[in-house]
Amino acid sequence: MSPFLLTRTLPEDATGAALRADVLHGLTRTPKTLPPKWFYDARGSELFEEITALPEYYPTRAEREILRARAPEIASATGARTLVELGSGSSEKTHLLLAALPELASYVPVDVSESALRGAGESLAAERPGLDVHAMVADFTGGLTLPETPGPRLVAFLGGTIGNLLPAERSVFLASVRGLLAPGDALLLGTDLVKEEAVLVRAYDDAAGVTAAFNKNVLAVVNRELGADFDPDSFDHVALWDAENEWIEMRLRARSPLTVKIPELDLVVRFAAGEEVRTEVSAKFRQGRVRSELSAARLELTHWWTDTAGRFALSLATAV
């Protein structure tokens, strides 16, 4: 069996402290917000897996199509001996990259979920003799120090997750990624592309209501972790296209005036009828925007691949 090592860089209560801070800040501001990372407890992760299989939700299938077709090119262009995956989760799509990188010496999955990392990492270490798997329990948006591994390194940030960051946050994130890269290293970035509004809205408001349940799961997380008394049935799921910013917004809209108590924060939150909480922004991109944002972080776009329908893109950028 290959070596498997798991390193925790987050303090034991880091997740709880971050949740308390985010809820306090987000629900006492106008308009109200909650960050999308709090969707993903065990139930939220199950719901997201269901979403990826929905007919309306194309990004996962589109990205997988690109990886199947282009993984050998990615391997050839990078010559990577270390693969670092940010927000790796179950590492399911990563197997397509790993299969194309026979000379890979190290795999470094990074995620806030220790259980997901341990399950995926131990399985991969058993399957891939000779591959060192060094999993890291860390928040990659808060600065990251990688273990010593052989270069060149390929840092992968897949799934279009970069779209959940606001423009200023993306700038900081890409600069931090650039700080991890040495000459010859590369970033593989997944971005969902701008397309027809109806296609985009359907992807975030499916007919079966799975995305609505996923959106409301953030309330269940706050209830469980902070003792709140949110009634998810008192909110409607809303998905809107913001054409000016070229992003989808997911919101929860109060059906009537209501008051929510959050004992752990000693907080009472009042909602007017129709008042909304923004729970997610999912930016969509054009090639020019990707190129310019990478360039601002001293990363040069060298390859651009899309699925056959032109819905999603993988880009490869090198450190400059």
CA 151, CA 243: separation in Å to the nearest integer? 41
The pLDDT of residue 91 is: 64
Q: Rounded to two decimals, what is the model's pTM?
A: 0.93
Beta-carbon contacts of residue 208 (< 8 Å; ≥ 6 apart): 54
Half-sphere exposure of 316 (CA within 13 A, CB side): 21
Fold of 57-195+284-319: Rossmann fold (3.40.50)
The pLDDT of 87-100, averaged and rounded, is: 80
pLDDT band, very low/low/confident/very high, at 106 (cuts 50, 70, 90) = very high
The pLDDT of 123-144, averaged and rounded, is: 83
What is the tens place of the pLDDT at every residue in 222-272? 999 999 999 999 999 999 999 999 999 999 999 999 999 999 999 999 999
Q: Is the pLDDT of residue 95 over 70?
A: yes
Q: Answer with the residue of higher pLDDT: 144 or 20.
A: 20
The pLDDT of residue 2 is: 62
Task: Give, in order, the Cα–Cα distances in Å from 75 to each of 34, 70, 79, 110, 213.
Answer: 38, 9, 6, 20, 38
pLDDT band, very low/low/confident/very high, at 90 (cuts 50, 70, 90) = low
Closest CA to 251 of 308, 302, 211, 307: 211
Query: Which 8-state DSSP code applies to residue 105?
Result: -
Helices (H), 244-298: 287-296
